[in-house]
Amino acid sequence: MATFKAPKGTYDLIPPVSVKYLAVREAISAPLRNSGYGYIETPGFEDVGLFARGVGESTDIVSKEMYAFETKGGDQLALRPEGTASVLRAALEASLHKQGNLPVKLWYSGSYYRYERPQKGRYRHFSQVGAEAIGAEDPALDAELIILADQAYRSLGLRNFRILLNSLGDKECRPVYREALQSFLRGLDLDEETVRRAEINPLRVLDDKRPDVQKQLVGAPVLRDYLCDACKAYHEEVRALITAAGVAFEDDEKLVRGLDYYTRTTFEFVHDGLGSQSAVGGGGRYDGLSEMIGGPALPSVGWALGVDRTVLALEAEGIELDIPASTSVFAVALGEEARRVLFGKVTELRKAGVAADFSFGGKGLKGAMKDANRSGARFAVVAGERDLAEGVVQLKDMESGDQTAVPVGELIDTVRGRLA
């Protein structure tokens, strides 16, 4: 019989590697939780129209990469390819914007799906932590999110990443730039698909990574030359606030990101140790997205950071995270009476907040102690019939090798005291 395997372009997270992913999620979310962002969780699939309307039909995500399907009931659904549209939909549906203080600040963590060519750092199933600030047009919000992402990466020990920053203008000035860029692109030798994309959203052509396209883009109109005074002032304040916080960034006039909903501030975090797939996260302002999906005007800004990409960045810099052992005490029982007593003590330790495990399967002393070593436990509790007859268990320090007899009734307090 053939065995099942994970679908192409996906992966399983298995201990001990999975612990690293959990630590990265925790590090990214910690600054958000300390800054007024509340946790939100949305379904893994949504109405396909939410992404077609919000993300943009001209994007590769919608036109080529989205997993879309029809249910038995005839609903047209899609696995979520990104998080922002889902979070905004949920906030609108719950009327969070009507319940008081704006902006509504939310963070999320989950899996996302895109039908891409699998390669290292780019999968069909990937994990992100994201943040959205909904309902306020304020340069300080844009700056806050960039600073919090920088703080998260630095808390993990990352140093070799760069922040790229740009402004995409707004509904007042971008149409003028769009027309100028389209006029320029019509004079180039582009394939049929790129010509079609240029007519729908010409800014997406600037994001084309093919060398033959990039070569032709030399001399293309630059968006910053078309920004209105309001967008220029907004962008300069974002830059000033980030600089004042001591966060370094690079201006990148070609940065447009891959989604149609961005306006004004757009940014990307890239890591020089990841080769062509250098982006580890990014985001920007999306002031018109709420109206696109049927809501009121709610200027907003957000980002998503790739957990997979961040783990690769850590490996590229040779950073080993300081992750505490998942088990503090490992109990080894020799004999049926010892098994009954120590299993009860493991339960008591867990209730007392001590991470404890038990040698299952009736293994002998040698095999059980191997399990204790593999668990990474700080202490092993060993007991046989003779120990119990004397009213004690043996507490072994797995680091020093020292072993002492501890009265059974004092085990919990002794362990807690030594761990403290």
Each residue's pLDDT tens digit, 185-219: 898 888 888 888 888 778 878 877 788 888 888 88
- Given this model, what pLDDT does residue 172 score? 87
- Given this model, what pLDDT does residue 258 score? 59
**CA-to-CA dists, residue 139 to 126, 159, 167, 235, 282, angstroms:** 30, 25, 12, 7, 17
- Given this model, what pLDDT does residue 1 score? 61
HSE-up (13 A, CA, CB side) for residue 35: 22
Residue 185 — φ and ψ, nearest 5°? -65, -30
- Given this model, what pLDDT does residue 118 score? 81
Whether the predicted pLDDT of 314 surpasses 90:
yes
Residues of the chain with CATH 3.40.50.800: 329-419
- Given this model, what pLDDT does residue 58 score? 58
Q: Compare 61 and 406 and report the one with higher pLDDT.
A: 406
Q: What is the mean pLDDT of the chain?
A: 91
- Given this model, what pLDDT does residue 194 score? 85
For the domain with range 329-419, which CATH number is right: 3.40.605.10, 3.40.50.800, 3.90.199.10, 3.30.390.30?
3.40.50.800
Whether the predicted pLDDT of 306 surpasses 90:
yes
Report whether CATH 3.30.930.10 matches the domain 17-173+227-316.
yes
Query: What mean pLDDT comes out for the span 281-304?
Result: 94
Kindly indicate the confidence band of residue 260, based on its pLDDT and cuts at 50, 70 and 90: low
Q: Judge whether 181 and 173 are in contact, CB under 8 Å.
A: no
Q: Judge whether 105 and 133 are in contact, CB under 8 Å.
A: yes
The two tokens of residue 189 are 């030798």
Kindly indicate the confidence band of residue 359, based on its pLDDT and cuts at 50, 70 and 90: very high
Residues of the chain with CATH 3.30.930.10: 17-173+227-316
- Given this model, what pLDDT does residue 59 score? 64
Q: Is the omega angle on the peptide bond into residue 103 within 30 degrees of 0, that is, cis?
A: yes
Residue 75 — φ and ψ, nearest 5°? -75, 140
The two tokens of residue 50 are 């939410």
State percent of the chain over pLDDT 70. Answer: 96
Per residue in 120-139, pLDDT (tens digit) is 778 899 999 999 999 999 99
- Least confident stretch, 53-67, 89-103, 167-181: 53-67
Sole residue written with tokens 């590229």: 316
